[in-house]
Amino acid sequence: MAGTSATLDSVSLEAASTQELYRELLRRMGEDPDRDGLVRTPERMEKSMAFLTKGYAMDVTEVLHDALFDVDYDEMVIVKDIEFFSQCEHHLLPFFGKAHIAYVPNGKVIGLSKIPRLVDVFSRRLQVQERLTKQVSEAIQDAINPQGVAVILEAQHLCMMMRGVEKQHSSTVTSAMLGVFKEQMQTRNEFLSLVRRQGNGI
């Protein structure tokens, strides 16, 4: 609602538009939402947040439905170094990094381009890294019932880097191992060895 001096003191919270809420937030920060640099900021913030949280409107079944194929292959499939961006649900600050995903088929495979899209379904939401890791692994398990699934996420969290403890070089690694990756050390070690190649720091 650019160019108006109305605040939420005079507008019902439930009736306020998203842009009005952002204007009020700017005002409470001590800013003037009508100055040149900020007059369109509520509009931009609304569009930006809609993009960053578009995963809520995405459905795993719709993403994967035309990319599940019957294939006689029972060796490990790995897609690694998948870049992802998400937002910490505690501070609404970004965390970002790489995902490494593997599965051992059980008669069906997933089209390779769909695996990064699957990561987006869950990363483009308010998240914690632990839940994100689990959701990706369980979605693959539910979609094709493979012999096993392995997911590793490596991420940097701005909530630790630019506030709080302010540790600039810290990173967080989470993993989820299902089926043969959890039950068979040899399979798990093969996955970890392949992911470590070309300088991954796991």
Known catalytic residues are: 88-91, 129, 157, 159
| Binding-site residues | 88, 91, 159
Q: Do residues 96 and 143 lie in contact, with contact meaning Cβ atoms separated by under 8 Å?
A: no
User: Can you tell me the distance from the alpha carbon of 93 to that of 164, in angstroms, rounded to the nearest whole number?
Assistant: 12
User: Can you tell me the distance from the alpha carbon of 52 to that of 123, in angstroms, rounded to the nearest whole number?
Assistant: 9
Return phi, psi of residue 146, to 5°: -75, 175
| Binding-site residues for Zn(2+) | 88, 91, 159
Q: Do residues 87 and 94 lie in contact, with contact meaning Cβ atoms separated by under 8 Å?
A: yes
Could you say which DSSP state residue 81 is in?
E
94 burial (CB, 10 Å; 0-12 / 13-18 / 19+) is middle
Q: Do residues 116 and 82 lie in contact, with contact meaning Cβ atoms separated by under 8 Å?
A: yes
Q: Which two tokens stand for residue 112?
A: 């390779």
Q: Do residues 162 and 93 lie in contact, with contact meaning Cβ atoms separated by under 8 Å?
A: yes
Q: DSSP readout, 115-158? A: HHHHHHHHHSSEE-HHHHHHHHHHHHHHHH--SEEEEEEEEEEH
